[in-house]
Structure 1
């Protein structure tokens, strides 16, 4: 499994990261352990979770299940020191039942990025994970209602206390990211080294406004700032590249739907058929071939079989003609 630099930290991380979002809920513990074992056996070392994973699969789930499963896997395997462990705070949901019913706005739903909130959140994450530190701690959902100075000072304190080695940000606009970096430079606080955003082969429809999806401006920003590494979540869009029903009905497609995406989906289908692989495998391989900016592909398989099928993309080599055809596709 290939590795790439994490910003300018000197760390090398697996270019394929394993998202543990559904572990302990939709994915039971035996399957979770099986996926983790297979990923690490293949040379993977970048694990991603969050304190809020996962309250939404159904009644009885409150968040923290994923971190708890990882903690039990670390205790069983003894492999904590072999992995680069990332978790997130600020998106904890205090009332999952109301959130599942859709009765809360994002501001009402999420805990936010206040200083005390993040300090208590990371302590809770460390208890569930059974470790004294994480390697990377993200602000999960950018909080426009808390002064950035408060959030950044708290994060700097967590780094100084040894509870996290690095910080990152997720679901954030480019202008906010620049403001964060300016404040870190002004006050000498640790700056983010990772940006986790939704990113796939399809391009965001220009009429859709969402802070969570990388757009052309953010990609250009990352090209100019190699101290930030893009961690791309939902790179395979829940299997949409191989499923016409998902192309039609998947909620996430609202962000991408249009003639440009139609053309790109058709190109993926044609090239995957010619290469004898699935569309999912082709898109993952395309992601791993990207160099400007380099990016980590974060997958979250629900079953061991899904992991095995998706991971085939690691071994797919795309020549220049295929890459040029993929990049040129669109309306």
Structure 2
């Protein structure tokens, strides 16, 4: 376990993504995945009020509803850390104070809980004064509806502005940051957000930690993309530079007797400031490779090889 940023929240060093719950995983399968994750030592569950509004027949909040039903049936709410997000639900768009309040209450109902451990601003809302949003999050914390504040998909400049406002007004400071960060997406986070996170002690929980599945090694040719749910998202990595990263991952995984995603996640977990990579499991069978990353320690040479080959992506 490890502490999330400057908070007192103790989390497993692999966060389980809930974006597949109610989308590619039905409720029964989702509950089985959650059971297996907890049985493997996990306690850190990520979702958003948006998930999964994009799926046919869904309206948003399906993931939260499934997680809420699971904690209620297992009676384990106090044993897990749940983080969710606001700004993208079809009925609760944006970060106006009234919307933040209403969306948080809706999430609490779906999650069947009295509190959210970490509540994120999912995406910046430039139409609302940032001070209004920061104050709204602080009010939720004062009311006991959330334990801590998190920020996702903000530019370094806007993140600094959020922190400056909170410091000046005496509001709760963010403790967590969710950036897009992995072996084939390094530059945006490392050159801009990482210095801010380090300066303010933010716990970093990178999403798309496996690059939408590319870093599992199952997509190596255009033919592999046909019919894949995330084929469109992965296609930009299926090139010489991306495949060179997979080749190094494969070599290390083979030598260590583990799966490719285990190595990719272990690399990310070991990056400065990273508390826990965020990854999803559509089925229970996919989970062991993810859980194994929490304890796999790469050698200095293995890290150097991955650092070098992945640095070429943005070169």
TM-score by length of 1: 0.85
Match of 2:278 in 1: 298
User: How far is the alpha carbon of 1:316 from its aligned partner?
Assistant: 2.7
User: How far is the alpha carbon of 1:7 from its aligned partner?
Assistant: 1.4
Note if contact 1:86-1:138 (Cα within 8 Å) is conserved in structure 2.
yes
Extract unaligned runs of 5+ from structure 2.
Answer: 226-230
Tell me, yes or no, if structure 1 residue 311 matches structure 2 residue 291.
yes
TM-score by length of 2: 0.89
2:136 to 128, 132, 154: 154
Match of 2:86 in 1: 89
Alignment of 1:197-216 (within 5 A): 197-204=179-186, 214-216=189-191
Match of 2:198 in 1: 223
Note if contact 2:53-2:89 (Cα within 8 Å) is conserved in structure 1.
no
1:184-208 per-position Cα deviation (integer Å, ceiling 9, x unaligned): 011111111101111111235x7xx
Q: What SS does the corresponding residue of 2:245 show, helix, strand or coil?
A: helix
Q: What is the RMSD computed on CA atoms of the aligned residues?
A: 2.2
CA–CA separation in structure 2 for the residues paired with 1:262 and 1:245: 9
Tell me, yes or no, if structure 1 residue 163 matches structure 2 residue 145.
yes
1:181 to 163, 186, 195: 163
Extract unaligned runs of 5+ from structure 1.
Answer: 95-109, 207-212
2:262 to 278, 281, 285: 281
CA–CA separation in structure 2 for the residues paired with 1:57 and 1:194: 28
1:114 to 84, 89, 96: 96
Relative to structure 1, the CA distance from residue 308 to residue 271 in structure 2 (aligned partners, 3 Å threshold; closer, same or farther) is closer
CA–CA separation in structure 1 for the residues paired with 2:300 and 2:223: 27
Note if contact 1:203-1:215 (Cα within 8 Å) is conserved in structure 2.
no
Note if contact 2:118-2:150 (Cα within 8 Å) is conserved in structure 1.
yes
Match of 1:43 in 2: 41
Match of 1:269 in 2: 250
Q: Greater relative contact order (Cα 8 A, min sep 6): structure 1 or 2?
A: 2
User: How far is the alpha carbon of 1:37 from its aligned partner?
Assistant: 0.9
CA–CA separation in structure 1 for the residues paired with 2:236 and 2:134: 30
Q: Alignment length, in residue pairs?
A: 304
CA–CA separation in structure 1 for the residues paired with 2:258 and 2:100: 43
